[in-house]
Structure 1
Amino acid sequence: MISLVHNEMVKMVRKRRIWVVTLILLVLIPIFTYGQFRSVQNTVRQLGTSDWRAVLQQQIIDQQNRLSSSRTPEEWKAFIRLNIQQQQYYLDHDINPAAPGAPTFVRNFAEQAVSLFLPLLVVVMAADIVSSEHSGGTIKLLLTRPVRRWKILTAKYLALILCVSLMVGLTILTGYLLSGVIFGYGGWDLPVLIGFQEQNGQLLTDHVHLIPQWKYILMSYGLAWFSCLAVATISFMVSVLVRSTAASMGIMLAAVISGSLLGQLAPSWQDLKYLAFTNLRLTDYLAGRPVLVEGMDLSFSLTVLSVWSLVSLAIAFAVFTRRDVLA
């Protein structure tokens, strides 16, 4: 099995998927860093101060103005009210939720990228892991080896898990090193609040407590890794079912993007919570952000993603071991 996994990792490297993902991170993270820097500068210029309290107070005022707009849907108004309560809690306890520094950038990046950016990178690596064998005509050569099909597929899946883990690690490393050039490399021990809960539209703070930022980052990227692994597993199944690499990647890209958009466009549709791609924002539960679809929490989303992953694996192994792939 080790030699099989090694062989699959060599294939991934030769197909340059990992290098493409690394290049994307090296190009886009500096752009995100510069964008955040410019946003901070513009806010300071508009308010005439760099005091984070003034910035947070202005954000609260802006959200209160959105509440008064008749164009804002009721679902979004409930979401905004909870955000205001949480920001007010930060103000009351004199804690800056966005203290400058590379660790803060890495933390915020995980929270913003977990629903779309990171899953898209996973699709780039995973969508053709099996279908490319058909497209390239190497599937016949692969199956002539005296190894059972389920072992071959298991090796591919284990290699995919390693690649996803490597991608998450590269995201942390490149984000920290590149953003630190502008924001500085300190701030690992800054306090971060967790434990916010919502009930009937009210923010509950009974379980709120402080943890160091490095621990929060580990927890955030652990949840992001789980989301990425779920996307990779579903992509793995699609790659088995669809023999065309282009079709496999197109299906997954459409599914990931649609899942992200549906949560924004149809928050009142309760059945959305049973779809895998609307449960990817696991870091929102850690940050205490309110969810738009009622009935969703961390345990629910973890369960939904786990069920989708297990079903996808079962389908992938059943099809690969029984289908005549030599045809």
Structure 2
Amino acid sequence: MMSLIANETKKIALRFSTWLYPLIIVAIVIALSASYKSFVPDLDNVQLMLSINSISMFLVALFSIVLASAVVSSEFSYGTIKLLLIRPYQRWQILLSKYIVVLMYAIILTLFTVIMSYIIGGILTSFGSLTQDISISNPTFSENGDVTNVGQTAIDALGSRLGYFTIQLIFSSSIAFMISSLLRSQALAVGIGLFLLFVNSIAGGIMLMLVEQFQWFKYIFLAPLYYVSMYADGLGMDVKGLSPGLAIFVLAVYYAIFMALSFLFFQKRDVSV
């Protein structure tokens, strides 16, 4: 199994896009940091990192979904799937190795983005304390207009956001991975994966607004996924009948279904090219 993971890691490492994505993120972080500094000169790097968190993490999700959408379908597009399956491994082992490498890349890209945001922000502004109270520089408000994060430290806020983002990232990447395992066309798989990413910000928001009127909407994965994404952006909201725990549970059920479909379909599918 480890040899399969090593082989898939090598494949991804040889892709030009694998190294291009981090460079794009660094360029965007520099541009955003410089822009924020021009508007708020006394902002330190910790406050800056929290301010650009939603944009930088969106890029991580975007590039991770592109990779997950192509990792299996590309084998069919390039005609290499037969060479892969003649190796002395079970199909589920081959698919699992690809999935593990996709998640590894997504998590590494997340950590890389956080570290680079901290370093770039510190160079352009100043290095702030991770234990500072962020309720003044990055306040969150309740529906009544009250500040809800009084006394919250930067490290707590960052940890909470990364935790929710990791859930969002794994779920979104898993959907894209399922699409990749179901389709032969790399272009179609990537296109559908990106479509789902962008449609979630619209359809998920609409469904979330309808949850209070139609409680069954909270069981459609777009609503809890959007709900979790709001917490990942530091914009947690109160929705009647829906809590972070319930949202994560619903996503976990869908996750199990999507992964089961991916492995079952790949195990049974015709691999003639």
Both proteins in one fold, TM over 0.5: yes
Quick check: 304-313 or 164-173, which moved more?
304-313
Pairing partner for 1:231 from 157, 162, 172: 172
> C-alpha offsets along residues 216-249 of structure 1, whole Å, 9 cap, x if unaligned?
3223212212211111111110001111111001
* CA distance, structure 2, for counterparts of residue 125 and residue 234 of structure 1: 12
The equivalent of 1:104 in structure 2 is 47
Matched position secondary structure for 1:282: helix
Pairing partner for 1:310 from 252, 256, 267: 256
> Which residues in structure 2 correspond to 1:1-327 (within 5 Å)?
1-40=1-40, 100-111=43-54, 113-114=56-57, 116-192=58-134, 210-264=151-205, 268-270=209-211, 273-278=218-223, 279-280=225-226, 282=228, 284-285=230-231, 287=234, 289-290=236-237, 294-327=240-273
Q: Is the 8 A contact 1:17 1:124 kept in 2?
A: no
Aligned CA distance change for structure 1 residues 197 and 310 (closer, same or farther; 3 Å):
farther
* CA distance, structure 2, for counterparts of residue 223 and residue 153 of structure 1: 26
Q: State how many pairs are aligned.
A: 264
In structure 1, the gaps of 5 or more residues are: 42-98
Shift of 1:319: 0.4
Q: Is the 8 A contact 2:45 2:118 kept in 1?
A: yes
* CA distance, structure 2, for counterparts of residue 108 and residue 120 of structure 1: 19
> C-alpha offsets along residues 156-199 of structure 1, whole Å, 9 cap, x if unaligned?
111111111101111101111112222212221202469x896x
Q: TM-score, normalised by structure 2?
A: 0.85
Q: Is the 8 A contact 2:45 2:126 kept in 1?
A: yes
* CA RMSD, 1 decimal: 2.8
> C-alpha offsets along residues 42-101 of structure 1, whole Å, 9 cap, x if unaligned?
xxxxxxxxxxxxxxxxxxxxxxxxxxxxxxxxxxxxxxxxxxxxxxxxxxxxxxxxx822
Shift of 1:143: 0.4
Greater fraction strand: 1
Q: Is the 8 A contact 2:132 2:154 kept in 1?
A: yes
* CA distance, structure 1, for counterparts of residue 20 and residue 240 of structure 2: 38
Q: TM-score, normalised by structure 1?
A: 0.72
Matched position secondary structure for 1:268: helix
| Counterpart AA for 2:131 | D
Matched position secondary structure for 1:289: coil
> C-alpha offsets along residues 259-305 of structure 1, whole Å, 9 cap, x if unaligned?
102345665333654444442453644746325x6433211221232
* CA distance, structure 2, for counterparts of residue 105 and residue 204 of structure 1: 23
Aligned CA distance change for structure 1 residues 316 and 267 (closer, same or farther; 3 Å):
closer
Q: Quick one: percent identity of the two aligned structures? A: 25
